[in-house]
Structure 1
Amino acid sequence: MRKLILCFLIFVSVILIYKFIYPNPRNWYDHYRYLAESFLAGRVDVPNLPIFYQDSLEYQGKKYLPFPPIPALILAPIIAVGKNTTQQQVSIIIGTLNAVLVFLLLKKFTKLINAFLLSIFFALGTVAFWSAVVGTTWYFAHNVALTFFFLSLITFKNKKYFLSGFLFSLAVLSRLPILLGIVFYILELKKDKINLLKFLSTATVCIPIMFFYNWLRFSNIFHSGYIEVYKSYLGIGYSISFFQSIYPNFPNFGYLDPRNIPLHLFTFFLMPPILSADKILPSPYGMGIIFTTPFLLLAFLPPFKKGLEKNLFIGAILIAFVDFLHYMQGWVQFGYRFLLDFLPFLLIVLAIRFRPKKLYILLLGISIAVNFWGVHWAIKLGW
Structure 2
Amino acid sequence: MSERSLLTWTVKISSLAHSGFGEEGLKLFNQLKLEGVELCDYAYAGAVASCAVLGSLDNGQQLHSQIIQLGHDSSLSFGNALITMYSRCGLVEAADIVFLTMPYVDSVSWNAMIAALAQHGHGDHYARLIDLLCRDGMFLEAKNVTESMPFEPGTPIWEALLASCRIHGNMELGIQAAHRLLKLVPQQDGTYITLSNMYATLGKWDEVVRVRQLMRERGVKKKPGCSWVEVENMVHVFLVDDVVHPELHAVYKYLEQLVHEMRKLGYVPDTKYVLHDMESEKKEYALSTHSEKFAVVYGIMKLPLGATIRVFKNLRICKDCHNAFKFISKVVERELIIRDRKRFHHFRNGECSCGNYW
With the length of structure 1 as denominator, give the TM-score of the two structures: 0.30
Q: Which has the larger radius of gyration?
A: 2
